A and B are shown apart, each in its own frame.
Chain A
Amino acid sequence: MDQDLALVGPILLPALAALFLIVVDLLPGARSAASSFFLGAFGALVSLGFTLKFLLDGKTGFAFSGTMLMDEPALVIAVIVHLSTFLSILLSRKYLADRADIEHAEYYAFILVSSSGMAMLAAANDLINIFLAIELLSIPLYCLAAMRRRQAGSIEAGFKYLLLGAFASAFLLFGMGLLFGASGTTSMAAMADELRRHGESGGLAALGASMFLIGVLFKIAAAPFHAWTPDVYEGAPTPITAFMATATKAAAFAALLRACPAIAQALTPEIGGKLIGGVAILSMVVGNLGALRQQNIKRLLAYSSIAHAGYLLVGVAAIVSSGGQLASGTAGVLYYLAAYAAMNLGAFAIALVLDRGDGREELNELRGLGRERPMLAALMAIFALAMAGIPPTAGFFGKLYVFSAAVDAGMISLAVIGALMSVIGLYYYLRLLILMYVTPADEGETRVLRTDGFVAVTSLVALVLVLWLGILPDWMVEFVRSAAAG
């Protein structure tokens, strides 16, 4: 039992930090914005360090009778989750200080609880735990999205996310029930074998796997289950949007990776691969085309995140079509998730700095930035180019990795479509650069930068990661490769 507890440290630590934070908040005299912030950041940082140490020490294994599996991919994802959590918290201080309508202690506690659920999802190896983890990460997110309770947009975001999220959960749960009926087990480790042993199940397993997929695909904002994304991303507080876009996506992909063998067995590798490949294509199309017309920077990033979900699903489709096991696919998805988290957090940090606080967050606020604030503009340009997949940035090797996994699985047409969709993606990322460097700023408007040291640290960490993963990708590639093979 002690060993079990030690193994799930990456899950327990943020939850403990959240409890501690709430208790401190209740103590008379200790309640302050600063203490909440520092406790939250400290909790996330400790979780991150702890998980990183686990990963470097190779401390892996089953816990709680095999219902949890802290393997290397899970640890990699937990690291991405905790890093995103930490950086999102750093982004929050200035954001909350400028707005009086958000409760500080609850805000940070919710983030930590949610990140605990995400780490749990990464390690969950049983249907029950997967469902618990998804609820644990989602419910705080519903609240966080609606945290700006005097803003209609924020309430709308929270409510929309809640309703559609509940809907997706129902699908997920129903799918799990069917999978259990077809296989007689809730264990993800045994699911594929049991399904194979039971043989023909009259479509029960296929239906179950499809509904399970819908539930998870909703969380990663893949089309056609993406409808909530632009509104929720726009309405939620910006640091929360960054948190949702990076950490939630990583965690949900962990669940997807875990379920790949069962999905391949239930749907057959061929159909499963085509199905997920189809969702990948649709996400790339919807995301990239949708982003073309956006005027709001957060909506643009929302559509871009749909498109990136598509690129990531290319890797998943490759895994499923190879029968549920494909080391290069798993490694590609892990690499892409890390790269995506870095560049997206960076882009949101810059969006946060430019926010005028009038809730519009228009792309036009980028106009003339290249001249007024060359450093800020250069950062944004690098993040945008990284998302467009231009070398030598992390985004390029991410795309290289998932597309090569698709080629590896013989899905060359999927890789070609992915490449073509990246061209459309270029168009709107370039629009950001045009706005910053070519279009002149409005006369007479003074720009107020909403930034503090913590925001600067976040964007610098993101920058270092984006360039490091892009220029010297070897260590990370080796890392995810051994994790995927492990």
Chain B
Amino acid sequence: MDGTILSVITFLPLLAALVVSLLPRANASVLRGGALLFALVELVVAFGIVNVDPSGAMSFVERHAWVSAFGIDYGLAVDGISMPLVLLSCLIVPIVIATTFNLVQPDRLKEYLVLLLIMQTGMIGVFASTDIILFYVFFELTLVPLYFLIGMFGGQRRIYAAFKFFLFTAAGSLPMLISILYLMWHHKQTMGAYSASIDDLRAMTLGSTEQMWVFAGFAAAFAIKVPMFPVHTWLPDAHVEAPTGGSIVLAAIMLKLGTYGFLRIAMPILPDATREWAGPLLTLSVIAVIYGAYLAWAQTDLKKLVACSSISHMGFVTIGLFALEPDAVRGAVLQMLNHGISTGALFLIVGAIYERRHKRGIDDFGGLCKVAPALGLALIITSLSAIGLPGLNGFVGEVMILVGAFQTHPWVAVLAASGVLLGAIYMLQMVRRVCYGKPNSPEAAELTDMNLVEKLAFAPLVVLMFWIGLQPGFLLDRIGPSVDLILNAMGNS
């Protein structure tokens, strides 16, 4: 037992949501300030978990019986994989709160903040759970707030997008529930008692046919969340209709719940099925990489472009995971963080531009670097980070994934590398059209630059892009041992 720091980190946002919901509605700056204060305190507290066990084992373990009849525990812990993801969640939320200026419905700022904070509890809970039912509970807890964020604060087709998002993700999570029930029941059959602890479920052996089915249940939930081709169609709608903050959280953290679930639950508990399914899933991932890139290439709307590029980039992550090679899996975990940082930053910039012009077409702008130099520079750095320029964060992850994947599945790596190329094409083309040349309209020529708050909020993301790009060792030293533990356990069973 290492105290209660993870419980504090997990539930502090929920407490914050409660406090914010009691603040007066009329005063927007008090609401925003209160929420921001909580989110910053949360960030500071979260740094307390940086020093995870260097052997890669679970640290800061908390475990209490919850529903003892079913062997369900309230169990929290983090290792080198989940720690950075928890920290990323704690970093993104204050950035979102600080940069929320122009809501569609300004008088409902309170609801917006409350939903955001509830969502934070859900996301951190998913990353920190060591019990599969607790994992499921938090997994579902993230759905409802995001559904409302899109439905209440989104664009024209927000209700359609919110419904689509919710039904897709819920349709995935219920097969997962059945898989979870089956695992728990199987534990009872073989070990004599129910258990929902992920470690216990890892320790038991399942026949390979059973594994295939149970894996299919998990894959339904996680593949939709990632999202993998062909269940990605909810993502562009959700992203385009969501308010900026919703898009940032969705891209930066929510999508990682899927890949994290594969890595934490599906792969270690069902090693045989993972190997069996790896081929098809790699194929789908390669399709996602290339198809997502083509989709992005064809977009004329900035936000849609970023959303489609997300599909492509998350394809890289799943390639890394299912290559089942240590370097590739490490790269995949790092790339989960990188994608969170880069795509989160891209949505932040697109949101900032949209708030100024209420337009998002690529051709509505031009000459951004002259008109608003800081905004232009931010867009350039972030785009370069997203396409994997050496020296920035995206490069490290992509190279590790490609090198690793090449050793086990050379063709996958070759095809995926062509996706990198496509990524460079559409991103740079977008940057050229938005940042350079002449402003396309009088309004485009009068765009205001980033204000101080936006610069301050953006700064940590840029720092992270360079830091991970130049010093990836700090994170990799922590990710590596935890990944090895999972892969070794898979090899032995």
Contact = CB atoms under 8 A, between A and B. Distances in A.
B68 A391 contact: no
A477 B67 contact: yes
A403 B177 contact: yes
Contacts of A481: 69
B141 A407 contact: no
A461 B443 CA distance: 57
Interface string A416-444: 10011011001100100110011000000
Most buried by A among B66, B69, B144: B69
A36 interface: no
Given A391-B136, A392-B137, A419 B185 contact: no
A270 interface: no
Contacts of B159: 434, 438
Contacts of B70: 400, 404, 477
A371 B148 CA distance: 14
Contact of B67 (A408, A419, A473): A473
A416 B181 contact: no
A392 B141 contact: yes
A390 B140 contact: yes
Interface string B140-165: 11011001100110000011001100
B69 A426 contact: no
A419 B159 CA distance: 24
A400 B181 contact: yes
A122 B437 CA distance: 80
Interface stretch (B166-174, B284-292, B406-414): B166-174
A141 to B, nearest CB: 35
Nearest to A440: B105
B37 interface: no
Interface residues of A, number: 32
Contacts of A416: 175, 178
If over half of B's interface residues share one DSSP class (helix, strand or loop), that class is named, otherwise mixed; here it is helix
B184 interface: yes
A390 B181 contact: no
B74 to A, nearest CB: 10
A57 interface: no
Contacts of B175: 416, 419-420
Nearest to B143: A390
Interface in A430-466: 430, 433-434, 437-438
Contacts of A407: 178, 181-182, 185
B152 A438 contact: yes
Nearest to B68: A474
Interface string B464-489: 00000000000000000000000000
Contact of B69 (A392, A437, A477): A477
Contacts of B177: 400, 403, 419
Contacts of B111: 370, 437
Nearest to A370: B111
A340 interface: no
A412 interface: yes
B185 A423 contact: no
A431 to B, nearest CB: 9
**Interface residue tally on B, bucketed by range:** 35 or more
Interface string A352-393: 000000000000000000110000000000000100001110
A397 interface: yes
B182 to A, nearest CB: 6
A437 B158 CA distance: 13
Contacts of B66: 473-474
A285 to B, nearest CB: 15
A478 interface: yes
A390 B162 CA distance: 17
B185 A426 contact: no
A364 B108 CA distance: 21
Contacts of A420: 171, 174-175
Contact of B137 (A396, A403, A419, A434): A396
A183 to B, nearest CB: 34
B65 interface: yes
Contacts of B184: 404
Contacts of B185: 404, 407-408
Interface in B105-139: 108, 111, 133, 136-137
A385 B140 CA distance: 11
A319 interface: no
A148 B70 CA distance: 47
A412 B186 CA distance: 12
Given A391-B137, A404-B185, A474-B68, A430 B174 contact: no
A433 B148 contact: yes
Contacts of A397: 67
B178 A403 contact: yes
Interface string A148-181: 0000000000000000000000000000000000
B151 A438 contact: yes
Contacts of A430: 147, 163, 166
A478 B141 contact: no
A474 B67 contact: yes
A391 B137 CA distance: 5
Interface of B: 65-70, 108, 111, 133, 136-137, 140-141, 143-144, 147-148, 151-152, 158-159, 162-163, 166-167, 170-171, 174-175, 177-178, 181-182, 184-185
Given A390-B140, A415-B181, A419-B175, 16 more contacts: A371-B108, A391-B137, A400-B70, A404-B181, A412-B178, A416-B175, A420-B174, A422-B174, A423-B167, A426-B166, A427-B163, A427-B167, A434-B151, A437-B148, A477-B68, A477-B69
21 contacts: A371-B108, A385-B144, A391-B137, A403-B177, A403-B181, A404-B70, A407-B182, A415-B178, A415-B181, A416-B175, A419-B174, A419-B178, A420-B174, A422-B174, A423-B171, A426-B167, A427-B167, A433-B151, A437-B111, A437-B152, A473-B67
What 9 A-B pairs are tightest by C-beta distance, nearest first?
A: A419-B174, A391-B137, A477-B69, A407-B185, A404-B181, A423-B171, A407-B181, A438-B151, A474-B67
